[in-house]
Amino acid sequence: MTNHIALFEPLMPANTGNIARTCAGTNTKLHLIRPLGFSTDDAHMKRAGLDYWDKVDITYHDDLDDFLQSIPDENYLYLITKFSDKTYSDQDFSDTSKDHYFLFGKETTGLPEKFMRENPEKCLRIPMSNNIRALNLANTCALVIYEAVRQQNFEGLELEHHYEHDKLD
């Protein structure tokens, strides 16, 4: 079982870099759906991911259809949007026999409206107040992926920190 984060036409390199770092920390595969609003060599993106880029499994897709064709079972595709009655924490992600795919929209416009209307059963939202239009994309990805790995009992993740330089004497 693997979790996957897919970014539909991401625009901001810092968000993508932070999301890549979250992917490295959770053993999550990252999918970037073109067109991208930046070069993957962008210094801001590299800085946001720090030295974790070699730990991230990234797949590039030419468009949304290309990404959708790569998913073996669309029953495990989740569209993260503010236009849903079902919250992400109400969804069951515990089936570790299947890969789970979390698709996030572009920072400015989200996912294509037509696509979401055609797939309302796949839509999940994060509750928030009306004080803002949307949460930051990188924060949204972190919330959702950590809910998934929590439900999966943090399978494959270290529950204790084992770095020598972090130990207290």
Is 156 labelled as part of a ligand binding site?
no
Per the structure, how many domains does the chain have? 1
Residue 76 reports pLDDT greater than 90: yes
Contacts of 42 (CB under 8 A, 6+ apart): 13
Token pair recorded at residue 152? 């999966």
Indicate the pLDDT class of residue 42, thresholds 50, 70 and 90. Answer: low
**C-alpha separations of 124 from 17, 24, 160, 166 in Å:** 24, 23, 31, 37
- What residues contact 41, with CB distance under 8 A and at least 6 apart? none
Q: Which domain range does residue 84 map to?
A: 3-166
Question: Is 5 annotated as belonging to a binding site?
Answer: no
Query: Can you say how many angstroms the Cα of residue 118 is from the centroid of all Cα atoms in its chain?
Result: 21
Q: Is 145 annotated as a binding residue?
A: no
Please tell me the pTM assigned to this model.
0.91
Per-residue pLDDT averaged across 46-65, rounded?
83
**Domain harbouring 118, CATH code:** 3.40.1280.10
